[in-house]
């Protein structure tokens, strides 16, 4: 963190705290490393939530691909799995079961992220107070928390999406064992896995926003007094 000073024509001294993005990223990574086990818990909860979402989305993609390949032959198995033929009869529509699973996975993911980040802010009151006393601006505190959430989101969501994709393929091979998978296209499945990954990253940033704003608005004197 550095201080840039300029002297306008009026003669007043203007001071601005500057923290380069490279240094911000380094601090975010170091913070995650110091709190390795806490970071692992947060990441693991995100992995599970996104794996659940990825499993649901890629499972639907597999079902649509099988319906495209086998048509009416695959319909009994797909119907028993909770899918329904759309009104035009040309594809599958999301059933109530699928919609509930997606909604539940998103809810679990969001609540887990917000809870983990709120605990992280609470644990770091003293650190945040010291940074504010040293001159850290609100936007610097906010940036650090967002960068930490972005790192966890990219890594955790990526692992979760891949896990969900693998689990979905394995479950489909077992559940639809009577059908031929040889013509199955992986592109729709990867697209759904990518959607789950992007959702996880977005929710990671959204989930940390409120805790990060709380951290940025903390008054140093109040924080230091509470620590004593």
Angle between helices 187-216 and 36-70 (to 10 degrees): 150
Rounded CA-CA distance 151/144 in Å is 11
- What is the mean pLDDT of each successive set of 10 residues along the chain, which is 228 residues long? 48 56 83 79 83 88 87 82 65 68 76 73 75 79 87 92 94 88 89 93 85 77 57
Rounded CA-CA distance 146/58 in Å is 29
Token duo for residue 11: 């003669």
Token duo for residue 139: 């936007």
Rounded CA-CA distance 153/200 in Å is 6
Q: Which SS3 state, helix, strand or coil, does residue 15 take?
A: strand
What's the pTM?
0.80
Q: What's the pLDDT at 227?
A: 53
Q: What's the pLDDT at 159?
A: 95
């Amino acid at each position: 963190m550095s201080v840039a000073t300029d002297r306008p024509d009026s003669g007043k001294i203007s001071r601005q705290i500057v923290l380069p993005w490279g240094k911000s990223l380094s601090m975010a990574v170091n913070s995650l490393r110091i709190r390795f086990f806490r970071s692992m818990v947060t990441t693991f909860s995100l992995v599970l939530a996104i794996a659940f979402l990825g499993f649901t989305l890629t499972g639907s993609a597999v079902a649509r691909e099988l319906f495209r390949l086998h048509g009416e032959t695959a319909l009994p198995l797909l119907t028993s799995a909770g899918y329904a033929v759309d009104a035009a009869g040309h594809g599958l529509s999301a059933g109530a079961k699928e919609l509930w699973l997606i909604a539940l996975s998103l809810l679990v993911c969001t609540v887990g992220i917000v809870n983990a980040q709120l605990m992280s802010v609470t644990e770091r009151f003293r650190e945040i107070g010291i940074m504010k006393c040293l001159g850290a601006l609100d936007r610097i505190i906010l940036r650090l928390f967002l960068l930490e959430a972005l790192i966890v989101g990219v890594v955790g969501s990526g692992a979760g999406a891949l896990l969900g994709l693998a689990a979905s393929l394995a479950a489909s091979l077992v559940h639809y064992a009577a059908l031929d998978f040889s013509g199955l296209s992986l592109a729709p499945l990867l697209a759904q896995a990518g959607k789950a990954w992007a959702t996880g990253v977005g929710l990671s940033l959204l989930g940390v926003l409120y805790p990060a704003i709380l951290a940025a608005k903390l008054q140093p004197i109040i924080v230091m007094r509470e620590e004593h």
